[in-house]
Structure 1
Amino acid sequence: MNPDTTPTRTPEPPDAAVRPTVRAATPADAEAISRMRSENLLSRPLTEEWVRRTAGELAHRLTPAGDARAFVIDAPDGTMAACALGLIAPVLPAPSYPRGLAARVHLVATHPDHRRRGYARAVVGVLLDHLADFENVTLFELHTSSQAAPLYREFGFAGSPALMRMTRLSPSTAAADAQPDSTWVPPQQYADSLPRATAYVCLYVTDEDDQPLQLHSVYSPSHPWHMIGGAVDFGERPWDAVLRECREKTGMTAVGPPRLLATVYGQPRAQRPYSTLQLVFDGRRLTEAQIRGFTLDPREHDEIRILPLEQWQALMPARDFTRLHAVADARRTGVAAYVDTWGDS
C-alpha cells in the first residue's frame, strides 16, 4: 500500500467538482497495474522481464474465469492514476463466510502525481462492493502499513495492520443456507469443466496446374489420402505447427505469410472422444522440382500423388472429399470455407 491510503476528509480532487471515475480493469490493464505495483509499492522495482511476466499472469487472471478483480482510475493523459486489485480464493465455509470464498486486497497503488485526492479510497470502495455484491465474497483480508490502517478500518476491517480481516454479510447471504457458489470457480476447475477439443493444421498444396497433392498414409486405412499436416502441440501456434509438420512430413519449408483457406470441425465419436478443429492453410502451387524434393517419413507416408480434383473422389471417403473440394473452392474463389461435417458417420 502507498502513503496515499492515509484517510483524508476531502476525497475529491481539489481541482475537480466531481468524484473520480472508477472503472473495472480488463486484461489490457494488466501491464499498467503491474508497473504501478513495481514502481509505487515494492521496495525494489521489478526488472522489465518480471513486469512482463507479472502482466502476462495477471492478464489471464483478470478474465471472467480468472480469480482477479481490479478497479482503476484513469489520468487525463490516459495513463493509470490509481488501482486496487483483489484476488479471490476458496476457503472452507464457516457461518461468517458460508459461500466458502475469501478475497485478499492484494494491492492498492496511486501514482505520485495523483495522491491526496481520495483515489485510493475510491478504488478500494468499488472493489470491496463488487466482490461482496457480485462475487459472493464475505471474508476479506489484506496486509497493510500502520499509516494506511485507518482507511481500511473505515471500510470495516479489524485487527493489526500486519493482517487485517473483515466479513461483510448482506441480509440475503446471512439468511441463506451455505451453498456452493455457482458464479465463480477456481481457474483449473473451470478449465476441467470445459469440453475437450483437439486442434489440427493442414497445408493444401497443388502442382502448377492446380491439381491437389495428397500423401498416402501407412497407418490410417480410414483416411488413406490426406493433406500435409498433423496435430497442434500444447502451446504451439497454428502456423508454427504448419512449419513443423511440413518439415517432419516432407522436408519442405512452408512459405508464408499464412493464408487460411478453411476451418473444418468434427464432432466427437466413440473412437475419438474429443471434438476436432482443423485449420487448413494455403501451401501455394509448387513446381515439379519442388515436389520431387519431398522426403517422406516412411513411418507415416509411402507415396505422393497428384491428380485432378474430381479423380480424388474415388480414392477417399466422402467426408474427406467434401473437405478437399471445399478447400479447393476456397483457394479458387478467395472465400474461406467452413465445413462442420468432417468425421460424421
Structure 2
Amino acid sequence: MKVLAAMSGGVDSAVAAARAADAGHEVVGVHMALSKNRDQSRTGSRGCCTVEDASDARRAADRIGIPYYVWDLSDDFHDLVVEDFLSEYAAGRTPNPCVRCNERIKFASLMERATLLGFDAVCTGHYASIRADGPDGAPSLHRSRNMDKDQSYVLAVMGPEAVRRSVFPLGEFETKEEVRAEARARGLGVSTKPDSYDICFVADGDTRGFLERNLGEAPGEILDEAGAVVGSHRGTHGFTIGQRKGLGIEHPAPDGAPRYVVDIDPTSRQVVVGAAELLSTRELIAGDVVSFEPLEVGRRVTAQIRAHGEATPATILEAPAGGQDSSLRVQLETPIRGVAPGQTLVLYDEDRVLAAATLERRA
C-alpha cells in the first residue's frame, strides 16, 4: 500500500512513519507547513510549524529511509482553522481548533492531495485505533489504549470514509514512554522532544490577547442573572461558558459565592454571570452530525464534550434519519457543567466512536 505519512517533527509522527515502513508499505513523509510566519525554533512545547520542526522531521525521514517533502498548507490552515476559530468566538461560541484542523486539514486537504498523487492512505501519529468491527465489518474508530493520550475525540469528525483511508500505528501503545523508548531504539533524535500543547497558532498561550488583536475591542456590560450590571468588558470574545477567572466583576455576589459565565450575547455585547448551578444540564442538542453507523432513539451511549473530559452515560433522544444529518439530542445520566455552543459532542459505544456533532445549545 502506498502511504503518505504526516510528519510534524515530533516523536509520535516519526515512530508512526517508521512503523508504517516496517509494515511493508511504500511510505513518503510530508511535513505540513501551516504557519505563514514560521519561527526558527519553538519555545518549549509551544509554537507551530517552526523551521526546527521541519528539520527534525527531515532527519527522522532520513533515518527511517523514506522520501520527504514539505507542503505549504498555510493558506488552507488560516482560512479553514484560524478564521473559523475567530468567527466562532465572535459569535459567542467555543470552538476546538484541533478538531477543525483534523477535520479540514489533516483529513480533508491532506487526504485530497494524497488521493490526487495516488496514495492509498494517510498515516499519522495520533493516539487512536482502527478496527474492522463496524457495520458489515467496516473499519471503525476506537480509543487508544493509552487513555492519557487518547485522541479519538478530536478525530471523530473525520467520518467513516477518512477512517477507511487512515493508518494510526500508535493506537496500541499503552504509554508515551513506550513510544519514546522505541524512538530511541530506532535512533530517532526526536525521542526526547517535548510534547506540543495548547493552541498551536497562539504560541504565547494568551488566547484572550490573540482574540483581541484580531477581533478588536467591543465594550459591553457584564450582568448578573437578575439583569443588574456588575461589571464591564472589552469584548464578548474574551469569555467562554463556565469561565470563572478574569471576569472583571466589580460587585461580588451577595452571598459571596463565586460566579461563572452562564450566557454570552455578542449582538447586545452582554455577558451574563451567575451561580454554578446555572451551568448544569442533562440534555444536549447538536447539529452537523457525522455518524459512523446508524443511531437509534433510545440507544444507550457515552457522551464526551471535551478532548480529555470524562465520558458520561447518556441516552439518544433524537437521531439523524440517515448516516449524516443535522439533528442529534441526548439526555445525560448525570448533569454536567460548562456546556458551550461550538463544542464538539462525541458519542461512544464503550471505546468505539459512534458519531460526532457540534453543540448548538443545552436544553
Tell me if TM exceeds 0.5.
Answer: no
Question: Larger relative contact order (C-alpha < 8 A, sep ≥ 6)?
Answer: 2
TM class, shorter-chain normalised?
A: under 0.3
Task: Give the TM-score taking structure 1 as reference length.
Answer: 0.20
